[in-house]
Amino acid sequence: MTSPKPQLGLIGFGAFGRLTAKHLSPWFDILAHDPAVSDGEGLVRLTPLEEAAACPVVVLAVPVGVLAQTVEAIAPSVTPGALILDVGSVKVKPAQVMLDGLPEGVSIVGTHPLFGPQSGKDGIAGLRIGVCPVRGDKAAWRVAAFCRKALGLKVFVVTPEDHDREAATVQGLTHLIAKVLLAMEPLPTRMTTASFERVMQGVDMVRHDSAAVFRAIEHDNPYAAEVRRRFFDLAEQARAELDG
């Protein structure tokens, strides 16, 4: 007789929540809560918030902008010894929110899957994920091992600060450039170069990201403003050279 799968609470069943459920359902019985959703799509069992939050593992798949109120809502229901994870695009702010709002008896790990529903549509094996210890180093290393062995991800264990420093460039510039190019559409599609097509492939990967994702990347990352400033300064220098 096979033993029952452990339960995992999934708070948020939007596009990334569904991607999360798809890849975790072979290992967990997933109890999901999302007041905007009425169909678990065969991946999860929709439950009240309190039931999902009481699972031994809880994944917070909500926008960074509502993380604080989500933490406040689940805090009375989380169980001692539970593992709480977030999947946001920034880590310094969410780490502090979870430290401040969750009971002392739970482990906290910040994660950032460096992919989304578009870039992970053909499978996630070989893609990258950042894992940030927040409260409980052993828990973080267990999460890293699971991501590596069970999901086939390339794992980087980093501090929330180091994560955000690198993400300010990697994601901040990508989304900023994509936003400008999307505003310039329609763009040429006939006489294109391979390099232009690669650029547009990158744009297409973030084309359907929500405004909340863009805001988190550009406004909730404490290092993004400096990266933007340097980018715009260098762009202005290039324009001055061309105009001159």
pLDDT of residue 225: 97
Considering the domain architecture, whether residues 33 and 105 belong to the same structural domain is answered as: yes
In this predicted structure, the answer to whether residue 226 has a pLDDT above a threshold of 90 is yes
Rounded to whole angstroms, the Cα distance separating 26 from 79 reads 23
Considering the domain architecture, whether residues 21 and 117 belong to the same structural domain is answered as: yes
In this predicted structure, the answer to whether residue 57 has a pLDDT above a threshold of 60 is yes
Q: What is the pLDDT of residues 172-217, one digit of tens each?
A: 999 999 999 999 999 999 999 999 999 999 999 999 888 989 999 9
Rounded to whole angstroms, the Cα distance separating 135 from 119 reads 30
Instruction: Choose among 216, 209, 224: nearest CA to 94.
Output: 216
Considering the domain architecture, whether residues 95 and 206 belong to the same structural domain is answered as: no
Three-class secondary structure assignment of the chain: CCCCCCEEEEECCCHHHHHHHHHHCCCCEEEEECCCCCCCCCCCEECCHHHHHCCCEEEECCCHHHHHHHHHHHCCCCCCCCEEEECCCCCHHHHHHHHHHCCCCCEEEEEEECCCCCCCCCCCCCCEEEEEEEECHHHHHHHHHHHHHCCCCEEEECCHHHHHHHHHHHHHHHHHHHHHHHHCCCCCCCCCCHHHHHHHHHHHHHCCCCHHHHHHHHHHCCCHHHHHHHHHHHHHHHHHHHHC
Determine contact, residues 107/82, Cβ cutoff 8 Å.
Answer: yes
Considering the domain architecture, whether residues 226 and 132 belong to the same structural domain is answered as: no
Which domain-ending residue is among 122, 139, 158? Answer: 158
Domain that holds residue 239: 162-243
In this predicted structure, the answer to whether residue 1 has a pLDDT above a threshold of 60 is no
Q: What is the mean pLDDT of residues 161-174?
A: 97
Which domain-ending residue is among 158, 181, 205? Answer: 158
Considering the domain architecture, whether residues 49 and 148 belong to the same structural domain is answered as: yes
- Indicate the range of 24-28, 110-114, 211-215, 217-221 predicted with least confidence: 211-215
Considering the domain architecture, whether residues 128 and 181 belong to the same structural domain is answered as: no
Q: How confident is the model at residue 3 (pLDDT cuts 50, 70, 90)?
A: low
Q: What is the mean pLDDT of residues 131-154?
A: 98
User: Which CATH number is 17's domain given?
Assistant: 3.40.50.720
Q: What is the mean pLDDT of residues 153-178?
A: 97
Considering the domain architecture, whether residues 46 and 62 belong to the same structural domain is answered as: yes
In this predicted structure, the answer to whether residue 2 has a pLDDT above a threshold of 80 is no
Percent of the chain with pLDDT over 70: 99
pLDDT of residue 191: 97
Inside any domain, residue 197: yes
**Total number of domains in the chain:** 2
Considering the domain architecture, whether residues 125 and 170 belong to the same structural domain is answered as: no
In this predicted structure, the answer to whether residue 118 has a pLDDT above a threshold of 90 is no
Which domain-ending residue is among 158, 188, 208? Answer: 158
